[in-house]
Structures are given as C-alpha cells and as structure tokens.
Structure 1
Amino acid sequence: MSETTLDRPEIVTFDVPYSAYGQLRNEGYNVQQASFGAPYEVPQSDGLLPVIPNSFLPENLIEQDILLVDLNPQDFRSSAEGGKVVSDAELDVWASCYRGFIDPRPRACDFAASQMNRVLEGGGALVIFAAPSLPQKQFIGRGRGYYPLESYQLREKSPYPRNCWSFSNISTTLEVKPSKGRDLIIKDSQRDSLQFLLERYAAKSQFECTIQPPPSLKGYWQILATNRFDECVGAMIHDEEHPGLILVLPQVGDKSGFLSELMKDVLLELKPKLFPESEKGRWLEHPEYEAIVISKLKREIEQVQREAENRIEKLWEQVDTERDKVQHHYDLLTETGDSLVTSVKKCLEELGFEQVVDVDENVDATESERREDLQILDEEPFLIAEVKGIAGIPRDEDALAVGKYLVPRLKQWKPKDVQGLSVINHQRNIPALDREFPFRDLVEDNARDQSIGLLSTWELFKLLRGFHMWGWDKKSLKPLFYRTGIIEGIPEHYAHVGTVERYMEKEGKRIVGIRIKAELNRTDRIAFALPTEFYEQDIQSLQIQNRDIETATADDIVGTITELTREQAKEGLRIFKVRGS
C-alpha cells in the first residue's frame, strides 16, 4: 500500500467492485466508497410497495473531483432494509411488485443529482460503466393502509420520471437501450492514451446497452466504441468550452487495472487540473521542452509499440488460421449429425487410422437400408461406429444402437471379426466440464456382452490434446478404440500408479503427497490426470518422511516435487506412470 495519500483528486466510487476501489486506495489516491443501493426481492404481485432506499452517499459529495459509477448491479438483496421514508400522508415513491423485486437506485440517483451536477460544473470528471436500468414501474403518490396497495389505492398517482441514469443532467438525457455482446470496435478517439487503453481491455470487456445522445449533445459527443452494427456502446462528452468531462464506457472485465491506468494515463492528460500534485513540472515533459536524448528514446518507444502491434496482429491472423485447421476438435463437443461424423472421422485419422470410411459417402445409391456411420478397416477386428450428438444423457438404446449393425456386417465380412464402437457427444449444449457421466453401469455390461466400445467425444477430445501436447506415439492410442465397455481417454503407455493424498508448500517448493498403488521409481516419469488434459513431469525426488528413497511400493505415501498448484493437485487426483519414457 502507498505510504502517502494524495489530497487531490478526491474520488468517489459508486457501486464499483471493491477490488477496484482497493487498487486505487493502495496507489495512494484519496478515494471513498458510495452506493446508489441494490435491488431487493419482494413477494411477486400486482400491488405497489413503497421504495425503501439502501444507498449510502458521502456527506461531501459536492466537493469531489472524480465520480466513478458502475451501473451493473452487483447483487440482489433478499429483502428491504429499513422502513418507509415518510409517513403515509406524505408523497412517496412506490414501485410495482410484478417482477418480484424493487430497484431503489433511481431514488438515490435523483437525490444525488444536484450535487453531482455541481461537480461537473466545477470541472470534475464522471466515468460511467454503462448498463441499462432494470425494468420497473415506479410512481409518486400517497398511500395508506395495508401493503401492498392496489394501483387504485395510491392517491395523487403519477409516474416517477427517474431511472438509474438520473444522477446528472446530462446522463438523464441519454437514450439507453438494452443490448448485450462482446464484439467491441474501438474508434479513433484522437486521444491516443484513451484509445490504446480501450483497445488493451476490449478483449475482456462486454457491453450491456447502446447509448444515443439527444440533439443538444451532438456537438460534444465523441464515439469511443461501437458494436458490430455501428451502434454506440461507449462515448466521451467533452468540449473545451464546458468544464466537465463524462466518459460512458462498456463493462470492463478488469476494472482494477483499467481504472488504475485511466487515472494515470488518461484523466491526467484530459483533466490535468484535477491532479495538481502530479501536474507540477509536467510541462517540462512536453515536446517543446523535453531533452533531446529523451525525445529520441520516446520515438524509439513509439516505434517498438508499432512493431509490437504489427506482430500481435500477425499472431492473431495465425490464431485464426490454426483455429480453422483444428475446427474438427471443437466440433467434437458441439456438433451433431453429419458434421459430427465428419469431425470424428478426421480425429481418428489424426490419431493414426488410415482406413476410416464414411459409410454415407460410399453407400450404393440403390441401398435404402440404414447403415452405421463409420467403418475402421485398418486391422481386425474391423470396427463399425455409430456417432450421435444429443442434448441430454444418452438412453440405453442410443448407446447400444450400433449393435443392430453388427450381425449383418459379421455375415457380410465373414470370416472377418467385427466389433462396434458408439461415439456420443452428450449434453452438447453445455460446457464439457459441466457435463454428467454419460453411461450407466448396466449399459457398460451390455456393451461388453455385445462387443461394443462406449466412447464420449469429450474423452476423444482429451486424447487429442494429450497427443499434441506430449507427442504420444500413435501406437499407444489406437488399441484404445478396440476395447469394449466404457473407453477412457488414457493412452496404453500410461499405468495407474497412485492418487494425490495431500499438497504442501515447503521452503519455496511445491510438494505433492502420493498414495502409491503400484511400484514407482525415482527415475520414472509421471502424469497427473487434470480435468481437461494430462500433465507430465519427471520425478525429481521421492521421499518418505523427509528420507530420500529410490523405489516406492503399494500403500506407501511418498512426496515428490511438482509444478502444479494447490488448485490443480487436488486430493484424489489420479497419477499415472509414463512407461517407455
């Protein structure tokens, strides 16, 4: 944490994540927290309830220099906190309960608006992380009796003309429409520092709404970012004749880092008078005063930045090219039908199979009978494969569907031996790590009885990752596909040797404790079965109770050094000996 705190600028964060507030405070800024409040849950009904504020605002809000506002609600509270602000006989703000929540923020924004306007009129800055107001019908009126009130029971009822953007005269006039996405196109802001900052954080940002100014702001409105339809999702409202500065920005992923750089690189440049302690002597750094040697170094820095940007652009082009080459890997986890069949065929060929036949592409035009999807004819037993992509868990008949093609193929190819292979992309609409195990124990027994292998595309995907990451020999992968029952994506040269028992950090080293299932030597290489891939490493040492050993046997608990983190090396994680390494 910074040992000194700058008196100015004075900064207030409204509902900005605590981590971002803490970052600014650690860097020595004079910053305090505030909140317009949080939505709270109410029983869903057609009635009206009074709006109960849960905001907290600084007493000296009018004296602040920079206002940072995040309009994306962090959480919904389970109930209102406190009671009605005024008596039943007085005018109050009421909200409809038809959505099961009440958003008290418009009321707090309205209350703070006059003070925040004064901050802008005095040359302050307002930074808004934009999000649309929550859909909520609110009213002004007088009500008495039991709550919730029916609409007709609210006397002198009129719409409450405020929302979550009503904290300044200018923000109130903006037309904000809900629209969500991640494709941000950063525009030339004529402010290199602001443009570069937005470009650096664009990949981890998203927009929640589009923003349009009223005609009165057209001359002061500068678009900073748009979506792919050229609709504004970020803008700057600033003019030399008007003292205040407003930045309306999309939702930045890393607000801590972004706001730190915004202060040092952008606001210091745009509003130097807000940073009197930082501005002292800064004019000496302007080009007309800068030392020649430093000017040369700055030009070199600019050249390096341009070269880096060009290199990055080429790398992204390479990423796109390589992604196209391995698209069939991704399709294993999302596709169904012919697209999935084609992807499985390409992956099998990638793993070393040379005679993989797409039956639909080679079937006789006169043949109307339904056939299996793929045939793998490299060696006996020949494999016939049925490939399915489904939204849920496979039924037993889905998993064993290939069985109905086995007898016809055995007769046709006699005396050749034939086995079945069922390849299933289950729960294909959700991330693979969130999916359930696809096969029941009873299905596995039936599959073995019918000479059928059961393989999920997730296991096939992990095999491909390991093959490319560790350069596995194809000869250790092909035999997997000839197994019956459930096929796990573990290569033949892996032998289960133990599980993680504990994890510790000692003298700067990460140590994993392994409960041994089979013999393990100090010269062996091991692999940890992480959720998406295997991590291989050579054993650097083996110890039992701080004593070096050469060989561990079943039921020993041994320690060895690893590069894995505590989060990765969880208790129960399986460990394999890499044979032939």
Structure 2
Amino acid sequence: MKSNDKQNHKVTDMNSKTTTRVLSIDMGQEVVDFLRKENLETYDGTFGPFVDARNVDYCWDILPIYLEQNLPDNLHEYSVVIEDLGFERKTIPYDLEQVDKQKAIVEDRSFKCLCLAKPINVLDPVPFGCFLLKREFDKKKGELIKIIFQAPKNEVRYSGIRVSNNIHNIGVFSNYQNIVDFSQKSLSGDRVKLVNEYRLSEILFSGLEDQLSYSQTFFHPSIPKNGSYDTEPNPHFIPLLLNEQGDIISYVYFEKKTCTFVLPQIENKVVLLERLFTNCLYRNFSELFPLQTKNTWLTKKEYELPEIVQLCEEKEEARQIYENTIDQKDKSIVEIRKKYNFLYAMLTESGETLVNNVKQYLEWLGFDNVQSMDEEVKEGEDFQEDLQIHLANNELLIIEVKGLHGTSKDNECSQISKIELRRIHERKYSNVHALYIVNNERGKEPLKRQMPPFTASQIKDAEFAHRAMTYTYQLFNLYFEIESGIITKEEARNALFQNGLVDFRSNFKSIGKPYSYFKNNKVACIELHDTILSVGDKVYFEDDRKRLNVVEIVNIQVDCQNKQTVKVGKVGIEFNMKIPKGAVLLYKHL
C-alpha cells in the first residue's frame, strides 16, 4: 500500500485533524469531487489494473508480481470506505522490472512478493485488495461505514514467493472478502422493486428504479431463537432492494461497530450517494461527521417539536394507508388478470392453449356443453374439429381454431367445411353449423394486424359454403361491448351462426357522420334521413380500438327549439359525454 499523499487527501477550508476521512476506491472523479465538496477528506484510491502475462515471450511456471494498487497506509484512521466492485479496470502487460518495488504484505518478513503460478496467467487485484482492507480494518477500534457497489462474486487463488524462493499458497479470496459475505447467486438484471417494509428503501431508490442494475443476489442470514433450535431472520440485516423474483440485491447490515451498505449498480453514483449521506448517514451517524454543516440530526425525533412529531406520525400513518391501499389494488389487478387470462391469451397463443382459451370464452358467452375434440382423437383416426357445441333440437356447432403468425390461407379457412360434411354424412344431427376462429398475426399488437384477416374471396367462399368466420380480436372487443350492455350474450351467440364474416353489429344502423361539433364535442350537428331519435335514446360509435361505445341523448334542438323526438332534417343533439370527431354514429335497430 502507498503512503499518505497530501494531494490525494485534498480537502477545502477544513482542519485535517478533525475532518472525516473517506477512502474512495475505483469510484471515479465525479464521486471524489462530490465527497470533497461535502468537506470530507477523501483519498482517491484504486485496487489497480489487471496484469496480463499471457504474452510473456519466455517459458515460465512462476512470475513475481507487483501490485499497482493505491491505498493509504493509515486505513485505521478512515471512517468511511466506498468501493465500486463493478469498476471497468484497465489491463496492463506484465513487466518484470516492476516486481522489486514494494511487498504486498509488509508485515510478513518471510514473504517476498506475489506471483502468478500456472495455469493462472492474469492477475485480478480486487479480491487480494479486499483481503488487505479486511486485515487493516480489523485493527480499527472505532465505527466504520462500508459502502459497496455490487458485482458478481469472484474468487481467486493467490500465490506468493518467500525469501527462500519457495512458492507459497496465500489463500483463496473474493471481491466480498472485506465484508461479511452473504452472496448467493450471480444473476444479472435491471428490473428491481423496493422493499416497502423499510422506509430506507424508498429514501434511497424511489424514482431511480429504471437506472439500477444488479449482477449478484444475497441471502438473508438467520440467528437462533432464544431457547429453541429454530432460527429467525437476523434483525441486523435489512433488505433494501429486490429483483422481480424476490431475490435480495441490496441491503444494509449492522455488525458491532461496522455498518455495511451493499448497493446496486447505477451510472450516476453521485445521485445515490447524495441520498445516502444526506438522508441517512448524517442523520444517524452524526458522531462520524462532526463538521458537516447539514446538521440533519436536528430533524431526529429526539430533538423535534411535539407538533412536528405528531404531524410526522400522521404523515407516516397516511403513507402506510396509501401503501396498503396500493398493495390491495395491485393484488386485485393480479386476481382479475388471472381470472380473465383467457381473454389476453386469445390474442397471443396458438395450438391447444388457444383452443382451451377459446373454449373458456365460449363458456363465458353462455354456450353449454363446449367439448374439446383433440382429447377424443385416437391414433390413426382422421383429424377432427377443435371444439364441438351440442345445441338444442339436436343441432351441432363445430369449430376450428388456429393461431397464425400471418393470415389464413384458403385451405385453412375451408378446412372446417370438410369436417362439416363428414358430420352431416354421419346423420346424427338435424343440422350442423361450422365456425372458423383465427388468432391472426399473433406476434403483432392487435391494432396493427389486418382487420378483418380474410380476403374478399375467402369471405365470399364462406358465405357460399354456409360457414362462419371470426377472429380473436373481434371476440376480445365483443367482451367489452357485452360488459357495457351494448350487445347481449344472446345476440352474440346468434351472430356466430351467420354465413361468411361474423357481424356482431348486424342490429346497428348508421345515423351518419356529424358535420359540426360544440361544447367540447358533447353537442353534434347531423342531418337525419328518416331516422327517429328521441331524448333518452342510446347512440353508439366505434373508437380507435375498433370497439363500440355508448352515449345517451340528453337534448335535441331544431332551429334553437328543444324537441323530444326528431326524424328528418338538420338537428343538434346533445349527449351526456363527448364523442370523437369524425366518428359514424349508430343506433340499435331491434
């Protein structure tokens, strides 16, 4: 380790005997500048570069190594150490002339230097540097704060050369050597979530979630329960951040006089460190920062006015109520998505999964006895329809379901007709109806798909063959129209027996398109042609999702006179809600 460097210890307008000393290791100039701006005496240190001996141009089994690290000799005088384990360090070629500069372990008189021993030919200085930090900080008697920006756990075996020139196995060390190691799995990702149970999680990370990433997970340590063989989570270990599957990726751990923060990676580390120092360290470790001008300890409960304490408690209660409410809403959303997952799956799936989801949809629509026929096909038998529905009067509805990345070919549209003929020739049913359902272009967002996904000739062929065709996004929108009371389930079921492209809106007739709008589109002027409309009637229009919406007529005027009913001519109609410009208005003809 290098001796103290006055330039490295640069601090502004402070007595160096009373300032807080911070060791910054591989943190970058922006972090060092931030710490010095906070009037913290900061040492800009490094574990050094990788040393690459792969291109050494002579045969070797052992190569002596000199560490290019820069760490202070008086580590026991430092109160805070900050390390970036994910620092992208440079690689330098092996240089034999450097090996006699300085010993890595000064106290060991029998130790001469580190070495590379084959098969290892690249030196990673970080785990060994962490080992040296631990040795020195173990000598410290006062409080110590360790702040670690995480990286994947990396273990390295180190060897050394003694004065006698014998090779010596120093040990296997990791980049988490200088802290209590709770590392679990090396997993990488950038989807994180706060630990709402702990306020510090929100203080540090709220609003930064999209900037965070991780490459290591950690386990929650346990301690024995009093008077029992059972264990319980260690209360001195506080998870601060989780990944999507609940693994811990950031935490704080209190052990004796040491407080360790393990943080996720973030490009702008100053933002996160500023939150940590201002909102946590200055408040809770004021004895380590006696010269900090922020005096944030004044806002601790022990020094607050009673009125402020009461307001803070009420604020915390309100926050808890809010978080509990949000949590309940999230749970309800998950439950509803699970209950109606078949609706979403109809837009994405294919094969048996799609068939099962269409079956569930048809059962929701009110069909009884919906049967999956793939379960009935035995080896060697002819292909059957995907679904059968046994109807009243001994009639049968057979259904073919397909999930495609494109649109249907002619033979895919007509395949159900061949099965229909087979069922007719069986002479078991008084009538057989055929329906083809396709989830077309299933890799695309539905609104970017072709609608309808059939050519004019395919639709005409279906009409001639007396079979029906529909597509899953049409059924998806139908769900909302039924739930809104625009179409009934009975009307929807009857529409599936039409010939050609199914039209769930066959009962709707066009009023026309308004030529003028007022009052934020709640009033529309339109010319009627033998269409009777009255106050209280429902009017419908299609939105940009291809879905019908309903509004109610609340007033009608002709020549500025209120009317209860109109039939022809130019009229002004006021609705209970605004309508989109350019939409064709419809009424339901029963």
TM-score range, shorter chain: 0.5 to 0.7
2:214 aligned partner, one-letter code: T
> What is residue 342 of structure 1 aligned with on the other side?
356
> What is residue 463 of structure 2 aligned with on the other side?
448
Q: Contact 2:343–2:476 (CA<8 Å) still a contact in 1?
A: yes
> What is residue 468 of structure 1 aligned with on the other side?
483
2:193 aligned to 176, 185, 202, which one? 185
> What is residue 502 of structure 2 aligned with on the other side?
487
Alpha-carbon separation, structure 2, partners of 1:114 and 1:361:
67
Alpha-carbon separation, structure 2, partners of 1:329 and 1:212:
37
2:214 aligned to 205, 210, 213, which one? 210
2:406 aligned to 387, 392, 408, which one? 392
1:340 aligned partner, one-letter code: L
Q: Which range is displaced more, 474-483 or 450-459?
A: 474-483
Alpha-carbon separation, structure 1, partners of 2:188 and 2:575:
46
Q: Contact 1:181–1:206 (CA<8 Å) still a contact in 2?
A: no
Offset of residue 290 of structure 1: 3.3
> What is residue 159 of structure 1 aligned with on the other side?
none
Offset of residue 440 of structure 1: 0.9
Q: Contact 1:524–1:539 (CA<8 Å) still a contact in 2?
A: yes
Q: Which range is displaced more, 399-408 or 319-328?
A: 319-328
Alpha-carbon separation, structure 1, partners of 2:276 and 2:547:
42
> What is residue 445 of structure 2 aligned with on the other side?
431
Deviation per CA, 1:345-386: give whole Å up to 9, x if none. Answer: 1111111111322223345x4770111112222246632211
Offset of residue 480 of structure 1: 1.0
> What is residue 575 of structure 1 aligned with on the other side?
585
Q: Contact 2:203–2:275 (CA<8 Å) still a contact in 1?
A: no
Alpha-carbon separation, structure 2, partners of 1:269 and 1:368:
72
Deviation per CA, 1:499-533: give whole Å up to 9, x if none. Answer: 46555545xx7445556574432220123322164
Offset of residue 539 of structure 1: 1.6
> What is residue 385 of structure 2 aligned with on the other side?
372
Q: Contact 1:235–1:248 (CA<8 Å) still a contact in 2?
A: no
What are the within-5 Å matches in structure 2 for residues 536-551 of structure 1? 536-543=550-557, 548-551=562-565
Deviation per CA, 1:533-557: give whole Å up to 9, x if none. Answer: 4332322223467654444546746
Count of residue pairs brought into register by the alignment: 391
2:476 aligned partner, one-letter code: F
Alpha-carbon separation, structure 1, partners of 2:191 and 2:430:
55
Residue 188 to residue 445, structure 1, CA distance change in 2 (3 Å): closer
Deviation per CA, 1:480-507: give whole Å up to 9, x if none. Answer: 11111111443x654443346555545x
Residue 185 to residue 175, structure 1, CA distance change in 2 (3 Å): closer
TM superposition score normalised by structure 1: 0.55
Q: Contact 2:191–2:210 (CA<8 Å) still a contact in 1?
A: yes
2:535 aligned partner, one-letter code: R
Alpha-carbon separation, structure 2, partners of 1:181 and 1:499:
51
Deviation per CA, 1:12-71: give whole Å up to 9, x if none. Answer: xxxxxxxxxxxxxxxxxxxxxxxxxxxxxxxxxxxxxxxxxxxxxxxxxxx9xxxxxxxx
Deviation per CA, 1:64-99: give whole Å up to 9, x if none. Answer: xxxxxxxxxxxxxxxxxxxxxxxxxxxxxxxxxxxx
Residue 521 to residue 482, structure 1, CA distance change in 2 (3 Å): same
Residue 540 to residue 468, structure 1, CA distance change in 2 (3 Å): same
> What is residue 425 of structure 2 aligned with on the other side?
411
Deviation per CA, 1:431-476: give whole Å up to 9, x if none. Answer: 2122112111111111100011110011111111222343853222
Q: Contact 1:180–1:208 (CA<8 Å) still a contact in 2?
A: no
Alpha-carbon separation, structure 2, partners of 1:410 and 1:283:
86
Give percent identity, aligned residues only.
Answer: 21
1:185 aligned partner, one-letter code: K
Offset of residue 311 of structure 1: 3.9
Residues 1:225 and 2:252 are matched in the alignment: no
2:541 aligned to 518, 525, 528, which one? 528
Residue 208 to residue 393, structure 1, CA distance change in 2 (3 Å): farther
> What is residue 121 of structure 1 aligned with on the other side?
36
> What is residue 36 of structure 1 aligned with on the other side?
none
Q: Contact 2:554–2:574 (CA<8 Å) still a contact in 1?
A: yes
Residue 223 to residue 299, structure 1, CA distance change in 2 (3 Å): closer
What are the within-5 Å matches in structure 2 for residues 54-93 of structure 1? none
Residue 439 to residue 522, structure 1, CA distance change in 2 (3 Å): same
1:292 aligned to 290, 293, 306, which one? 306
Alpha-carbon separation, structure 2, partners of 1:414 and 1:510:
56
Alpha-carbon separation, structure 2, partners of 1:443 and 1:286:
75
What are the within-5 Å matches in structure 2 for residues 88-107 of structure 1? none
Q: Contact 1:180–1:206 (CA<8 Å) still a contact in 2?
A: no
Gapped runs of 5+ residues in structure 1?
1-62, 64-112, 126-167, 214-221, 237-244, 253-258, 274-278
Q: Contact 1:117–1:169 (CA<8 Å) still a contact in 2?
A: no
Alpha-carbon separation, structure 1, partners of 2:519 and 2:241:
46
Alpha-carbon separation, structure 1, partners of 2:552 and 2:412:
42
Q: Contact 1:513–1:558 (CA<8 Å) still a contact in 2?
A: yes
> What is residue 195 of structure 1 aligned with on the other side?
202
> What is residue 161 of structure 1 aligned with on the other side?
none
Q: Give the secondary structure class of the aligned counterpart of 1:318.
A: helix
Residue 272 to residue 532, structure 1, CA distance change in 2 (3 Å): farther
Alpha-carbon separation, structure 2, partners of 1:549 and 1:263:
69
TM superposition score normalised by structure 2: 0.54
2:38 aligned partner, one-letter code: G
Alpha-carbon separation, structure 2, partners of 1:182 and 1:554:
62
> What is residue 89 of structure 1 aligned with on the other side?
none
Offset of residue 340 of structure 1: 1.2
Q: Contact 1:544–1:558 (CA<8 Å) still a contact in 2?
A: yes
Q: Contact 1:427–1:435 (CA<8 Å) still a contact in 2?
A: yes
The higher radius of gyration belongs to 2
Q: Contact 2:523–2:572 (CA<8 Å) still a contact in 1?
A: no
Residue 333 to residue 415, structure 1, CA distance change in 2 (3 Å): closer
Residue 188 to residue 410, structure 1, CA distance change in 2 (3 Å): closer
2:502 aligned partner, one-letter code: I
1:577 aligned partner, one-letter code: Y
2:192 aligned partner, one-letter code: L
Alpha-carbon separation, structure 2, partners of 1:180 and 1:500:
56
Q: Which range is displaced more, 419-428 or 281-290?
A: 281-290
Gapped runs of 5+ residues in structure 2?
1-11, 13-27, 41-81, 89-148, 153-186, 218-237, 253-260, 284-292
